[in-house]
Amino acid sequence: MPRDLSQMRFLTVAEVASMMRVSNMTVYRLVHSGELPAIRFGRSFRIPESAVEQVIHKPMSDIG
Domains and CATH numbers, the chain: 5-62 (3.90.105)
Q: Read off the pTM.
A: 0.79
Q: Identify whether the C-beta of residue 52 lies closer than 8 Å to the C-beta of residue 4.
A: no
Is pLDDT larger for residue 1 or for residue 50? Answer: 50
For 25-46, how does the pLDDT look when each residue is reduced to its tens digit (9 = 90+)?
999 999 999 999 999 999 999 9
| pLDDT surpasses 90 at 5 | no
Q: What is the pLDDT of residue 8?
A: 86
DSSP H stretches of helix in 1-64: 13-20, 24-33, 49-56
